[in-house]
Amino acid sequence: MEHDLLSIYEKISSLKAEGSRITARKNSEIQRFAVRRFENGKLFQTSRLGSTSLEQLLQDSYKWGGPGTEHNYGFAEARIEERQGVDVDPQILNHFGESFTELCKRYPQFVFGGNCMIKSTNCSLSASYGLDLKTSGDFCDWYIFYQRKGSGNMIDGLFGESTAQPGIERTISDHVPYLDAHDRKVELQSCAMPVLFEESLTPLGKLIESFQVNSYHEGAALYSNRLGQKLFNPKVTIYDCAYDPLSGQVQFFDGEGVVRRDQDLKLIDQGCFVSLISDLRFGKKYGVATTGNGCRIYDRGVQLGPHSLRFAKGRKSWREILGSLDRCLVVALAAGGDTNDLGEFSSPVQIGYLFERGNLVGLAPQVTLKTSINEYLSSRLIDVSSDGFRKSQPSGCIVSEVDVIV
C-alpha cells in the first residue's frame, strides 16, 4: 500500500470596504489535508479541514473512500525539494485603507467598495514512494469597484492587482483618468475596430480545450489533429506558467507531485501549435510524458488543466500600439460571453473606454463584441504588447480588430 499526503496551511489578513468606508478587518487561519491511498490497483481518497493526522486520514479513506477508482499509471518521480516565495509587507493593508479613503474624498460622486487580502501559504506534498515537496510564499489580492451615484448599473468601474509586489498608490493613480472619463461619454456606431481586452484570454475559452491531451486525441477539440501546424500570427506565443511566486503561484509541483524541468511550457510558439498538456493518467493512456498539469484541489481528485496561460510579450507597450491607431476600444469588463464549438466568441461589454491615437477620450457605451479565435489571433491581429494592461500583469496584451455591435 502506497499513499500521499497534501497539506495546505493558509493565513489570511483582509480589509473590506463598503459604501465608501472601511467596514471590517479580519484575520483567519485554515488548514486543509488530503490523502490518497493506492492499494490493489485502486485509488482511494479523503480530506479534512482543521488539524488531523496521517493515521486518521488513512482510516477515513477506508471508511469513506468508497469503491475507489482504477489506478494503473504509476507515480511521480521521487524528489525532495523546498522553495521559498516572496514576503508581503503587512502594512499593505494600512496603505490600502489610507489610499481608499483619499480616493473616496477626491471623488464624492462615486460610491466605492473593495477588498484587500494578504495570504500566506505553506503547502507540502509527501508520499511513501519518496516525495517530500514543500513550498511557501505570500500573495496580495486587492480591488476597488465603484458606482456613480444615481447609476442603474451594478458597477461602473473596477481595478486592482493580484501580485506579491503590490503598488496600490501607483495603480490608483494610473486609474484616475478612467474615473475622470465617466464625465465624457462617447458614442459609437456598429463597425469593426481595434479592441484590447484587459484580460486577453477572455475570448479564448475553446482554445484551452485544444491544449488538453485527452480532448485533443478524442477529436473533441477545436484544433484536434493540428499539432505541429501553424495556427496563428507569428506574433502569438502562448505558454503555461507552472511557478511564479510574484503572481501568487507558489506551488511548483502539480497535484501528483510532478515538477516540470522548465516551469514555462510553450503551447503556441510564434503561431505554431507545438505542445499539449497532460498528467500521469492521460499521459499513459495516450503514450506521452506528463507535463505536470495534474491540478488538484484538496477535496477533489486530480483534474487535467493549465496552471496559468499567458501571452509572451511583444516589442511595443500597449500605449505605443494604441498611439499608432486612430481608435481602440479598451474593455475593462465583458461578462456573460461565450464561445461556440467553432471558436466564435460573442460577449456584451459592461465597461469599456475609447482611445484615440493613444489618448483616453471617454467612457464607451455598452456594446456587444463578436470575433472568433482564428480572427482574434490571426487574420485580424494587430499586435501583442510588451507589458500587461496593469503593471503587475505578467502577460502581454492582445490588440485585435473585432466586430463592435451597438
Q: Which residue has the cell 507597450?
A: 317
Cell 491544449 belongs to residue = 211
φ and ψ at residue 326, rounded to 5 degrees: -60, -45
Task: Among 293, 311, 329, identify where a domain stops.
Answer: 311
Q: Compute CA distances 208 → 256, 297, 308, whole Å.
A: 21, 20, 11
- Regarding whether 262 and 113 lie in a shared domain, the answer is no
Q: Are residues 190 and 324 in the same domain?
A: yes
| Domain shared by 34 and 120, yes or no | yes
**For residue 151, how many C-alpha atoms fall within 13 Å in the half-sphere facing its CB?**
16
CB atoms within 10 A of CB 55: 9
Question: Are 225 and 359 in the same domain?
Answer: no
The shares of helix, strand and coil residues in the chain, as percent rounded to the nearest 5, are: 20, 45, 40
Predicted pLDDT of residue 338: 86
356 CB neighbour count, 10 Å cutoff: 15
- Along the chain (406 residues), what's the average pLDDT of each consecutive run of 10 residues? 96 97 97 96 95 94 90 96 95 96 97 98 97 97 96 92 94 96 94 94 89 95 96 97 94 96 94 98 96 91 94 96 97 90 93 97 96 96 96 93 96
Residues 52 and 168 in one domain: yes
Specify which residues 137 forms β-bridges with: 121
Question: Could you give the CA distance from residue 13 to residue 118 in angstroms, rounded to a whole number?
Answer: 5
Extract the C-alpha cell encoding 163.
501580485
Give the end of a domain, one of 256, 287, 311.
311
Query: What are the b/e assignments for 318-334, b being 16+ CB within 10 Å?
Result: beebbeebeebbbbbbb
Do residue 195 and residue 318 come from a single domain? yes
Same domain, 320 and 306: no
Residues 47 and 67 both lie in one domain? yes
User: Is the domain of 43 the same as that of 157?
Assistant: yes
| Helix and strand counts by DSSP (H, E) for the chain | 8, 23
* Phi and psi at residue 401, to the nearest 5°: -75, 130
Q: CATH no. for residue 64?
A: 3.30.2290.10
Cell numbers given for 294: 495534474
Residues 165 and 193 in one domain: no
Domain boundary among 296, 311, 326: 311
CA 292, 293, 296, 300 torsion: positive or negative?
negative
Do 238 and 354 belong to one domain?
no
Q: Measuring CA to CA, which residue among 288, 320, 345, 302 is closest to residue 397?
A: 320
Query: Which pLDDT value is given to residue 250?
Result: 94
Domain that holds residue 230: 205-311
Co-location of 56 and 175 in the same domain: yes
Structural domain count, the chain? 3
CB-based contact 339:205 (threshold 8 Å): yes
Residues facing residue 333 across a β-bridge: 351
As a residue count, the chain comes to: 406
Residue 12, pLDDT score: 98
What pLDDT score does 381 carry? 98
